Amino acid sequence: MLHWPRRFRASWGGNVDVRVETPDQPAIVPISRHTLHGELVERLRDMIIEGRLAPGSRINEGPLGTSLGVSRTPLREAIKFVASEGLIELVPGRGAVVKAMTPNDVREMLQVLTGLEVMAGRLACLAASAGQIAELRVLHNAMMAFYASRNRLEYYKCNQAIHTGIARLSGNAFLAAQHEAIQSRLKRIRFLGNEGPSKWAGAVAEHEDMIIALEARDKDRLAAVLTAHLERTWDRVCDTL
């Protein structure tokens, strides 16, 4: 069955594939698209997020490059880029290793992320245009379609793009940059927060409240929803760390 992709690009810089599908494909699919670096970076992220490259494991460039159908040079450049995001460590004597975080690392980062998102949400209610908020609604609706089809990875990408979007709609570039730096390091952890029907359903309900509060420009309500959402993220992932 063919699935035709549709790319959503928001004015705040989001870039998310919003095709709705339930993929049934091999664990690793050779890359054939022309945007080699971007595709490799995205593929590496996805493999880390889904646990196919496990925390603490060494990335063996030879076999991985063969599986993906690329040479070592572009793969190495992609690994360096993902390392700059905090998902991979470049360890002397070992090479590239998937970043492993302690529960305390995760807890501390979520605490800081909560403060940033609450501030961003309040600012976004004041600064965002109606068009920008409407773009986040489109992304939210796409996320809900992925939830309905149980496409967990694409749901997750839309979910994270919404959080990034709120940070950027704050109008505070420094805040958005700090938010992005922390969120990049928590990609695998946030994905685990949707593991299991009840956890996933809870996160979805919180996102419904989030978009409604933003559309109403109710900064106090949005701040409360974001606080609860990120505190529950810790509750949802702490047992799996």
Q: Give the mean pLDDT of the chain.
A: 87
pTM (2 d.p.)? 0.76
- pLDDT bin (cut points 50, 70, 90) of residue 32 is low
- Within 10 angstroms of residue 226's Cβ, the number of other Cβ atoms is 27
Domain CATH code at residue 76: 1.10.10.10
Model confidence pLDDT, tens digit, residues 176-207: 999 999 998 888 888 887 788 888 999 999 99
Size of the chain, expressed as the number of residues it contains: 241
Same domain assignment for residues 133 and 82: no
Q: What is d(CA 112, CA 107) in angstroms, rounded to the nearest whole number? A: 9
Q: What is d(CA 222, CA 228) in angstroms, rounded to the nearest whole number? A: 10
Same domain assignment for residues 197 and 219: yes
What is the domain extent for residue 177? 103-240
pLDDT of residue 28: 60
Q: What is d(CA 121, CA 39) in angstroms, rounded to the nearest whole number? A: 31
Question: Which residues are 88's β-sheet partners?
Answer: 98
pLDDT of residue 20: 45
What whole-number percentage of the chain has pLDDT above 70? 85
Three-class SS of residue 84? Answer: helix
Model confidence pLDDT, tens digit, residues 125-165: 999 999 999 999 999 999 999 999 999 999 999 999 999 99
Same domain assignment for residues 188 and 71: no
Total domains in the fold of the chain = 2
* One-letter identity of residue 106: V
* One-letter identity of residue 193: G
